[in-house]
Amino acid sequence: MKCSAVKVDGHWREVYKDPITDLGKRSKRGRLGLVKDGDKVRTVPEYEAEGQDLLQTVFENGVLVKETTFEEVRENAKL
């Protein structure tokens, strides 16, 4: 997932691109969540994902908080 928000002095700011020459390159903005919608997965604003967000923190403040083995990656790719 690409950067879509940044916290500056305790306040969240949206990070996005919105090129005037190619509207198809607009990026999602703000804090996002990942939810399962039937058999599909989609990104939604974070407040819509509350309680069902599939995203997990992996790095926080430069510290690895969740380690994933290559075998786990392979198993997840099968899903």
DSSP 71: H
* Secondary structure letter of residue 21 according to DSSP: T
Question: pTM of the full predicted structure?
Answer: 0.68
In tens digits, the chain (79 residues) has pLDDT values of 689 999 999 999 999 999 999 999 999 999 999 999 888 999 999 999 988 999 888 998 899 999 999 999 999 898 7
C-alpha closest to that of 41 among 27, 55, 26: 55
Domains of the chain, by residue range, sit at 5-78
3-state secondary structure of 40: strand
The full DSSP string for 9-41 is TTEEEE-----TT-GGG----SSEEEEEETTEE
